[in-house]
């Protein structure tokens, strides 16, 4: 038996294999658990989080002290740090997931056949999920709760710098599982800082992990995408584009540009490149750039843009493929929607792109010809978020095209099976 | 430029890489091709197949002569052999695919948000498909046409023994693409018998193959599943179960058992194991087994079954995990639906299982607790087929839970994206 707090343990490969077997063994009881049972477990988890506030803060204090000793960055320490308000937010987040519609058993589609067979496509859990994340302890709760809601066992591998905090939160999740008499192995936390554990997960634990979801910076996601032998739901980066068409309303264009870039610069749905139609360079370009600069944004301008707006940095080739995650935007003039589509198809990370335009045909062309997970018309790219889509909690945004794409919420963590009802039919 | 008939060529890895790049380059023009354009290409393909009947038969004659020299088996030669009727069937199959509803652009779901945003989830092509198949030349046409309908470029790697036949059919597909002015690289045939080409495809051609679909025997599928570095839609085998519950109507049970096993024994949806409820061993077991034997089926019986039906072979442990694909069935008595579920969860390949029962609660339990792609009530397992499901043509049946499950038809070969329509919304 492994306990999350045991730091010394034996062979990592053998231990991870055991974790994989346990997760798989939990899959069937979880798949047949009723919606009420899972709801009760989730409410039990939220209550345990609040009840053990002190324990979680104490564990977090250890991580904070270790982090200070290791000289972790201020932003890193901010993500790591818990306080009573953040703990309440974690508990509230679990309650929200508890109140989402249970997807398992939902009939997604149904139809009748001429021979009288009635066919239903019904949601089922997807399988064992592996979540690999950096040092944000709240991911422990979010990912554990969301996977449980979808009926999936989950193996959580948090960052080593938050292991004590994550273990304290994980203990509360297990308490919730126990209150509903669901298998404790439904939510397991990898109890080690050994990096080899991640490698084992990426190999899939002998078929005992069905999908891996990385949560963290580009280095983590890149390693997972390159090394994983199982499917991955992720986005490497969000190089999101905002295109201002010749038919755009200028006031709206200004408002959306400032929001898309500056509302929060560190989120994956923040705009990184602004494309402006050459045809409105004379009228729209300068007011938009002035508004961005007034909001504190640095402008990296293409040579044609510089002619109209000299007080900017010249953009280099690298700017078109850079996810700044900062108050910087690359700006380019393009020849109408065709030019915008061309630029986006060449440089986008296929996460989210937006167009501001009044001409319906132009919008349809933008929507049809660009193959990104999310396309928006006359709205900010910052709406690229599961909550904003009405999905409730999300575990991330995927840019792959296999199974999940866009926000990964509870429905995206399910699969399906067919139920066929007959009255004695045999096949001729 | 490579031509399918060129047998001598250079470096396989370099050539396959070039095929991958061409397929990727064809993806965008194909994704934006109208439904009408794809329809025209498909009709053009069917017409070319009929027009070039003589060329196809001549090419097939070469494969047949080579096959005779190599001493290929009679069943293998039967799958390889083409005649005018089979060529017409191939052309008709392409026409059927042409008449399917075009999935690209279909709105799968749509909803409004309180802030006025209107969100649509819209079908898109999935990406480049790699199809690896054995020596059935008709797969060239089926797979090529189905992938085109879904807007996906496809790389076809047929069996070496049918390369001439496949190349002749492929030339007709390219003719169809040309008549609609769609990129010729939308459907490429790997023009070599070098087995290293398969290895290159399994590695994904540097990200230029998005999914691989193997069509063929267990050895092929096993290799693909083990070695592929990209997602695979496949089933390794169909160890399909038929369970006769205590509440079953005996006549129906007999009829379904004979059909499920004996209609065609070589298909993946054929029943391989018969489970009979202990509670009706005295009434149902013997009539069902007698009917099966009368239909020419060999019985491999569990020790308890042998007591009631002595004239059968004793089943060994291997029988419960054997896909006979022949007129043989393994038979076992189980303790009600719970016993059936237990056996199926232990031994099934999660392809297709059926229950014959009149009791609704029993059926619901069977449907809820078994996690196979297809579950049927009071109907034959042989309905496990895309055509029988009303999907039109299928490219196979998948037992994985990622993206596609059950029959893989044109919809399963698509992905989706989100289109969000606003009126100037910015995120607070």
CATH number of the domain at A90, please: 3.40.605.10
Are B31 and B198 in contact by the 8 Å Cβ rule? The answer is: no
Are B261 and B292 in contact by the 8 Å Cβ rule? The answer is: yes
Structure tokens at B310: 């002595």
Does A388 reach chain B within 8 Å, measured CB to CB? yes
Q: How high is the pLDDT of residue A27?
A: 96
**pLDDT tens by residue, B260-315:** 999 999 999 999 999 999 999 999 999 999 999 999 999 999 999 999 999 899 99
Q: Which chain B residue lies closest to A387 (C-alpha atoms)? A: B113
Domain containing B374: what range?
A: 240-388
Does A401 reach chain B within 8 Å, measured CB to CB? yes
Which of A118, A222, A233, A418 would best serve as a mutation to test chain B binding (most B beta carbons within 10 A)?
A418
In this predicted structure, the answer to whether residue B143 has a pLDDT above a threshold of 90 is yes
Check which CATH number belongs to the domain holding B322 and give it. 3.40.309.10
Is residue B425 included in any domain, yes or no?
no
| Sign of the Cα pseudo-torsion (B341, B346, B347, B350, in order) | positive
**Per-residue pLDDT averaged across B10-24, rounded?**
93
Is residue A206 included in any domain, yes or no?
yes
Could you give phi then psi for residue B207, rounded to 5 degrees? 85, 5
Q: Are B120 and B193 in the same domain?
A: yes
- Looking at chain A, the whole-number percentage of residues with pLDDT higher than 90 is 92
Q: Are B77 and B213 in the same domain?
A: yes
pLDDT mean across residues, chain A: 95
Q: How high is the pLDDT of residue B53?
A: 98
Are A406 and A397 in contact by the 8 Å Cβ rule? The answer is: yes
Burial B150-175 (b: 16+ CB within 10 A, else e): bbbbbbbbbbbbbbbbbbbbbbbbbb
- Chain B residues lying within 8 Å of A416, measured CB to CB: 405
Does A43 reach chain B within 8 Å, measured CB to CB? no
SS3 content of chain B, % helix, strand, coil (to 5): 45, 20, 35
Give the three-state DSSP class for B204. Answer: coil
HSE-CB at A66 with a 13 A cutoff on CA atoms is 14
Low-confidence winner among A269-283, B69-83, B198-212 (lowest mean pLDDT)? B69-83
How high is the ipTM of this complex? Answer: 0.94
Q: How high is the pLDDT of residue A7?
A: 46
Q: How high is the pLDDT of residue A6?
A: 47
- Chain B residues lying within 8 Å of A225, measured CB to CB: none
Structure confidence at residue B10 as a pLDDT band (50, 70, 90): low
Count Cβ atoms within 10 A of the Cβ of residue A286 and give its class: 0-12 exposed, 13-18 middle, 19 or more buried: middle
User: Rounded to whole angstroms, what are the CA distances from B399 to A13, A52, A128, A155, B227?
Assistant: 28, 43, 16, 23, 17
Q: How high is the pLDDT of residue B329?
A: 98
Contact at CB, B402 and A390, closer than 8 angstroms: no
State the smallest CA–CA distance between residue B334 and chain A in angstroms: 20
Give the three-state DSSP class for A158. Answer: coil
Q: How high is the pLDDT of residue A10?
A: 66
Does B265 reach chain A within 8 Å, measured CB to CB? no
**pLDDT tens by residue, A319-344:** 999 999 999 999 999 999 999 999 99
Q: State the count of interchain CB pairs (< 8 A) between A and B.
A: 176
Are A89 and A138 in contact by the 8 Å Cβ rule? The answer is: yes
Is residue A400 included in any domain, yes or no?
no
In this predicted structure, the answer to whether residue B4 has a pLDDT above a threshold of 60 is no
Is residue A3 included in any domain, yes or no?
no
Q: Are B93 and B189 in the same domain?
A: yes
CB proximity under 8 Å: B 276-335 to A: none
Query: What element of type H or E holds B156?
Result: strand B154-157
Which of A402, A406, A411, A414 would best serve as a mutation to test chain B binding (most B beta carbons within 10 A)?
A402
Q: Are B96 and B215 in the same domain?
A: yes
Structure confidence at residue A9 as a pLDDT band (50, 70, 90): low
**pLDDT tens by residue, B247-260:** 999 999 999 999 99
State the smallest CA–CA distance between residue A134 and chain B in angstroms: 26
- Chain A residues lying within 8 Å of B380, measured CB to CB: 425-427
Q: How high is the pLDDT of residue A2?
A: 41
- Chain A residues lying within 8 Å of B389, measured CB to CB: 113, 119, 418
The C-alpha torsion from B282 through B288 and B290 to B295, rounded to 10°, is 180
The C-alpha torsion from B32 through B36 and B39 to B41, rounded to 10°, is -70
- Length of chain A, please? 428
**pLDDT tens by residue, A269-282:** 999 999 999 999 99
Give me the residues paired with residue B300 across strands. B313, B330
Q: Which chain A residue lies closest to B31 (C-alpha atoms)? A: A369
Nearest to B248 by CA among B384, B383, B377: B377
Q: What is the rounded distance in angstroms from the CA atom of residue B404 to the CA atom of residue B392?
A: 16
Is residue B6 included in any domain, yes or no?
no
- Domain count of the fold of chain B: 2
Does B263 reach chain A within 8 Å, measured CB to CB? yes
**pLDDT tens by residue, A358-367:** 999 999 999 9
Are B373 and B352 in contact by the 8 Å Cβ rule? The answer is: yes
**Per-residue pLDDT averaged across B78-101, rounded?**
95
Is residue B394 included in any domain, yes or no?
no
SS3 content of chain A, % helix, strand, coil (to 5): 45, 20, 35
Of B127, B377, B401, nearest to A415 by CB-CB distance is B401
- Chain B residues lying within 8 Å of A101, measured CB to CB: none
Count Cβ atoms within 10 A of the Cβ of residue B2 and give its class: 0-12 exposed, 13-18 middle, 19 or more buried: middle
Q: Are B83 and B41 in the same domain?
A: yes
Q: How high is the pLDDT of residue A193?
A: 84
Is residue A397 included in any domain, yes or no?
no
Contacts of A280 (CB under 8 A, 6+ apart): A244, A245, A246, A248
Contact at CB, B32 and A367, closer than 8 angstroms: no
Q: Are A262 and A375 in the same domain?
A: yes
Q: Are A26 and A55 in the same domain?
A: yes
Q: Are A249 and A223 in the same domain?
A: no
Q: Are A79 and A212 in the same domain?
A: yes
**pLDDT tens by residue, A17-50:** 999 999 999 999 999 999 999 999 999 999 999 9
Is residue B400 included in any domain, yes or no?
no
**pLDDT tens by residue, A53-105:** 999 999 999 999 999 999 988 888 998 999 999 999 999 999 999 999 999 99
User: Rounded to whole angstroms, what are the CA distances from A169 to A76, A172, A335, A384?
Assistant: 19, 5, 53, 28
In this predicted structure, the answer to whether residue A3 has a pLDDT above a threshold of 60 is no
């Amino acid at each position: 038996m492994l306990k999350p707090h045991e730091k010394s343990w034996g062979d990592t490969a053998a231990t991870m294999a055991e974790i994989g077997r346990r997760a798989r063994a939990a899959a069937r009881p979880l798949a047949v658990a009723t919606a009420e049972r899972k709801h009760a477990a989730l409410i039990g988890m939220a209550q345990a989080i609040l009840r053990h506030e002190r324990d979680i803060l104490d564990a977090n204090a250890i991580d904070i002290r270790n982090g200070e000793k290791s000289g972790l960055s201020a932003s890193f320490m901010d993500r790591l740090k818990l306080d009573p308000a953040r703990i309440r937010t974690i508990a509230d987040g679990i309650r929200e997931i508890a109140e989402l519609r249970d997807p398992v058993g939902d009939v997604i589609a149904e139809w009748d056949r001429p021979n009288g067979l009635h066919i239903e496509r019904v949601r089922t859990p997807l399988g064992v999920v592996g979540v690999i994340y950096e040092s944000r302890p709240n991911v422990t709760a979010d990912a554990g709760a969301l996977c449980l809601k979808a009926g999936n066992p989950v193996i959580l591998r948090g960052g080593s710098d938050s292991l004590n905090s994550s273990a304290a939160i994980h203990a509360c999740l297990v308490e919730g599982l126990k209150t509903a008499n669901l298998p404790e192995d439904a939510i397991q936390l990898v109890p080690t800082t050994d990096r080899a554990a991640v490698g084992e997960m990426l190999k899939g634990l002998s078929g005992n992990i069905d999908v891996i979801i990385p949560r963290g910076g580009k280095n983590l996601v890149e390693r997972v995408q390159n090394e994983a032998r199982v499917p991955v739901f992720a986005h490497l980066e969000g190089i999101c584009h905002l295109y201002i068409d010749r038919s755009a309303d200028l006031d709206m264009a200004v408002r959306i540009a400032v929001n898309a870039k500056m509302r929060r610069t560190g989120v994956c749905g923040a705009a990184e490149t602004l494309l402006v139609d050459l045809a409105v360079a004379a009228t729209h370009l300068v007011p938009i750039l002035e508004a961005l600069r007034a909001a504190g944004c640095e402008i990296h301008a293409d040579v044609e843009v510089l002619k109209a707006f000299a007080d900017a940095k010249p953009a280099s080739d690298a700017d078109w493929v850079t996810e700044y995650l900062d108050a910087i935007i690359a700006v380019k003039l393009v020849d109408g929607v065709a030019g915008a589509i061309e630029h986006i198809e060449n440089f986008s990370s296929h996460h989210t792109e937006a167009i501001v335009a009044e001409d319906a045909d132009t919008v349809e062309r933008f929507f049809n010809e660009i193959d990104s997970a999310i396309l928006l018309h006359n709205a900010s790219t910052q709406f690229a978020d599961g909550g904003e889509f009405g999905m409730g909690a999300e575990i991330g945004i995927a840019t792959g095209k296999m199974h999940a794409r866009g926000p990964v919420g509870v429905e995206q963590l399910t699969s399906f099976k067919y139920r066929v009802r007959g009255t004695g039919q045999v096949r001729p």
